[in-house]
Structure formats: C-alpha cells, structure tokens
C-alpha cells in the first residue's frame, strides 16, 4: 500500500480478507481487522496473506482484500474500488499444479464448477454445529442442567440448518426461516390452548404468552450479537427482522392458507357457507349476502396496536437520543445502560398493562 499527498503524521487502516472462489483457511490464511500503520514519513507498507499449497488441482481462485476504517486524517483515493470509505483489491491464486499428479475427482469438481475445499469446510462446520449443540458449558448445578436439558432438543433441531457458507448463506436463510415459521406456529397454538384452559382472553394471551415465547429467543440472540460484535447493527437488525418473520410466517402464513381454504371450500359448500353466515351474522361489520371469506375480527386489536406504536416510537427515540448524546445505541457505562434497560422494560409493562385494562373494561 502506498501513501500519497504527504507523509507527515501517523495514519492507519484495518485490513481484512473475504472469500471468493478461494476459501479460508483451506486456500489462504485469513486476516480480520489487522491494523496496518504508516509511521511519520513512511510512504509504503505491505501486508502478507499466506497462501496454502495443498497440491490439489483446483483451477484459478480468488479472494478479496479490504482496507477500511482509515484513521489519522487519511482517506482512500478516489480511484480505489469502494472509495472513500474503503479500498478493495481482488487477489488471484493461479493454479500451478500438474494435472497428471492430481486426482480425477478434483478435476471433475473443477469442471463442474464445484469447490472441493469449500465442500470440506461446509461438512466440517456442519459437524461442528452438532458438537456445539450437545456440548454442556458451565457448572454442573441443578439449574444449569435443567436449562441444558430443556434447550437440547431445540439446539439439535436447529443444528440441522446448513452453515452460511453453503450457497452464499441463502440455503441457511431459507431453511432457518421455515424452521422459525413452524416453531412460531407451534408456540402460538400451545399458548392459545394454555390461555383457553386458564380462562384468559385471546388478545391478552397473544401479547403475553405468545409474544414472550416467540420474542425471548430473538432477544437472547440479539444480546449475543451485541456482545460479540463491535457495532449494534447486527443486534438491532436481528431483533426487528426476526420479529417481522414471526409475524409474517407465524400469523401471515396460516392466515393465507385459511383465506384460500374459505375462498374455495366455503363458497362451494352451501352447508359450510350457511354456518359461516350464522356465526358472523350478528357482527357489526357483517353485511347481508356478503361472500364467505376467512374472518379475523379486530376486537381489541386497534387499541393494542395504537399503544404498541406509541411505545415503539418512544423506543426508537431512546436509541436515537443515545446515539446523539452517547455515540452508541447499546451498552455503555452502567448507569446509562441500566437506566435505558429500566425505561424499555417499563414501556413493555405499560403496553401490557394498558392492553389488559382495555380488554377487561370492554369485556
């Protein structure tokens, strides 16, 4: 790397690598946030990326070197790919192996466009997921053993999700999305049955048991992302995205199936259509002779959504205020972190309390 337009003062940047057709660590040894510093008067610096020679015929492969987070007043030149925030360079690994000494299966993989190293890494990562799922971490106390036992079946189920390396992450995304949708539907049905047995109104069941059952796992995942990542993007993106998935798949998918069923079967079966009209004939929204369709009466949903929307706006306001005053959305010194946590929990309690009060008074 060359420093231009002056050499006074100390500047630095971070160097990271990203897989292309070449995958780490099978083809090269990766770098992640490696700090490259130019001292006062230094014009050139270099960084080394070790290439792995495995004596396999793999064809030409490439990976990317990314320079980012320039400090000391430096910026990347306009002609750089990704400027001015970063500079991106593609490194090509040229195959120099003699085909005569290579296995026929390796040649076939290259001809079919398959990456043998990538397949091996995917298999190893998939196996490692099951090792992590059954591994017990922590002290052997009764509470820890109980939580491990309760979580083990779910950990094993989600260990079947393929590693993100497969298909650029899309296979993992789609399969996990389906798993979350099925799990949300199961939790919703179980919570509905529990609320019915306890005599709790369906709207209250939805915002307590169902919401907690579907959102707490996302909360713990977001907490782990907040701890492991330097920025809050992954944490906030996960909690908002996963809750959207819960709603769209856990409710939207069953409702879509029910809507199609009633649209086709309800109109063709006169007995079923008559039962539908008899059931909803006393509702305020019912109009005589209206076509049979899947009906979801709003009931107390309007008030609940209004309170939730106000609490959501206040929550976003807290994040924006923390960003403007403290410089970050999450974490920080204990007084501010605890104060923010208490405020957000209070907003949730206000939402629950107001919804229960409205349902009780209207009932």
237 shares its domain with 346: no
At 346 the pLDDT is: 93
Question: Which structural domain range is residue 231 located in?
Answer: 169-297
pLDDT tens for residues 87-118? Answer: 998 888 877 665 544 455 555 555 555 566 67
Q: Does any domain span residue 312? A: yes
For the chain, what is the domain count?
3
Please indicate, yes or no, whether residues 212 and 304 belong to a single structural domain of this protein: no
Phi/psi-derived region of residue 262, left when phi > 0, alpha when psi is between -120 and 50, beta in every other case: alpha
Place of tokens 């006074």: 8
Quick one: the chain helix, strand, coil %, rounded to 5? 60, 10, 30
Residue where a domain stops, chosen among 101, 119, 139: 101
pLDDT at 101: 43
* Domain assignment present for 266: yes
What is the mean predicted confidence (pLDDT) over 329-338? 83
Alpha-carbon distance values, 133 to 25, 123, 129, 136 (Å): 23, 16, 6, 8
Same domain for 286 and 183? yes
The verdict on 290 and 206 lying in the same domain is yes
Q: What percentage of the chain carries pLDDT values higher than 70?
A: 90
Q: What is the per-residue pLDDT for 314?
A: 94
Please list, in sequence order, all residues whose beta carbon lies within 8 angstroms of the beta carbon of residue 215, skipping any fewer than 6 positions away: 243, 246
Does residue 327 share a domain with residue 214? no
Residues 219, 257 within the same domain: yes
Q: How far apart are CA 83 and CA 14, in angstroms?
A: 14
CATH of the domain at 25: 2.60.40.2030
Higher per-residue pLDDT: 303 or 230: 303
Contact between 116 and 56 (Cβ < 8 Å): yes
44 CB-near residues (< 8 Å, 6+ apart): 1, 2, 3
Q: Which residue has the higher pLDDT, 340 or 6?
A: 340
Q: Are strands 61-71 and 11-19 parallel, antiparallel or unpaired?
A: antiparallel
Write the burial class of residue 15 (CB in 10 Å: 0-12 exposed, 13-18 middle, 19+ buried): buried
pLDDT of 338 higher than 70 = yes
Q: For residues 321 and 210, state if they share a domain.
A: no
Answer left, alpha or beta for residue 341, where phi above 0 means left and psi between -120 and 50 means alpha.
alpha
- 292 shares its domain with 315: no
Based on the domain organization, do 197 and 252 belong to the same domain? yes
Residue 234 has pLDDT above 70, yes or no: yes
Using CA atoms, how far residue 337 sits from 234, 240, 321, 323, in Å, is 18, 20, 13, 13
- What share of the chain in percent tops pLDDT 90? 7
66, 32 in Cβ contact below 8 A? no
Q: What distances in angstroms separate CA 241 from CA 219, 229, 329, one per listed residue?
A: 12, 17, 17
Residue that is last in its domain, among 43, 66, 101:
101
């Amino acid at each position: 790397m060359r420093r231009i337009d002056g050499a006074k003062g100390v500047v630095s940047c971070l160097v990271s690598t990203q897989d292309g057709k070449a995958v780490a660590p099978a083809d090269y040894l990766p770098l992640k946030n490696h700090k490259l510093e130019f001292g006062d008067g230094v014009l050139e610096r270099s960084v080394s990326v070790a290439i792995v020679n495995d004596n396999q015929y793999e064809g030409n492969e490439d990976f990317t070197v990314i320079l980012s987070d320039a400090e000391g007043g430096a910026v990347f030149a306009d002609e750089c790919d990704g400027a001015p925030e970063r500079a991106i360079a593609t490194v090509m690994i040229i195959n120099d192996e003699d085909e005569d000494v290579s296995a026929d299966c390796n040649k076939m993989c290259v001809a079919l466009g398959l990456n043998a190293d990538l397949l091996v890494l995917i298999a190893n990562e998939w196996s490692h997921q099951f090792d992590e799922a059954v591994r017990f971490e922590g002290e052997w106390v009764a509470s820890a053993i109980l939580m491990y036992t309760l979580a083990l079946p779910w950990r094993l189920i989600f260990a079947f999700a393929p590693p993100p390396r497969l298909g650029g992450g899309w296979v993992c995304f789609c399969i996990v999305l389906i798993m979350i949708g099925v799990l949300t539907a199961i939790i919703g049905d179980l919570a509905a049955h529990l609320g019915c047995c306890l005599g709790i109104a369906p709207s209250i069941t939805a915002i307590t048991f169902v919401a907690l059952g579907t959102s707490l796992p996302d909360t713990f995942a977001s907490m782990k992302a907040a701890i492991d990542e330097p920025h809050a993007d992954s944490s906030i993106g996960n909690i908002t995205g996963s809750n959207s998935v819960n709603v769209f798949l856990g409710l939207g998918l069953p409702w879509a199936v029910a809507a199609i069923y009633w649209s086709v079967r309800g109109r063709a079966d006169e007995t079923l259509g008559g039962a539908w009209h008899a059931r909803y004939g006393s509702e305020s929204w019912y109009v005589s002779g209206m076509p049979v369709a899947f009906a979801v009466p709003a009931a107390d949903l309007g008030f609940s959504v209004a309170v939730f929307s106000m609490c959501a706006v206040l929550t976003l306001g807290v994040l924006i205020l923390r960003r403007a005053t403290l410089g970050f959305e999450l974490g920080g010194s204990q007084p501010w972190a605890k104060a923010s946590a208490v405020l957000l929990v209070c907003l949730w309690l206000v939402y629950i309390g107001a919804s229960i009060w409205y349902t009780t008074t209207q009932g």
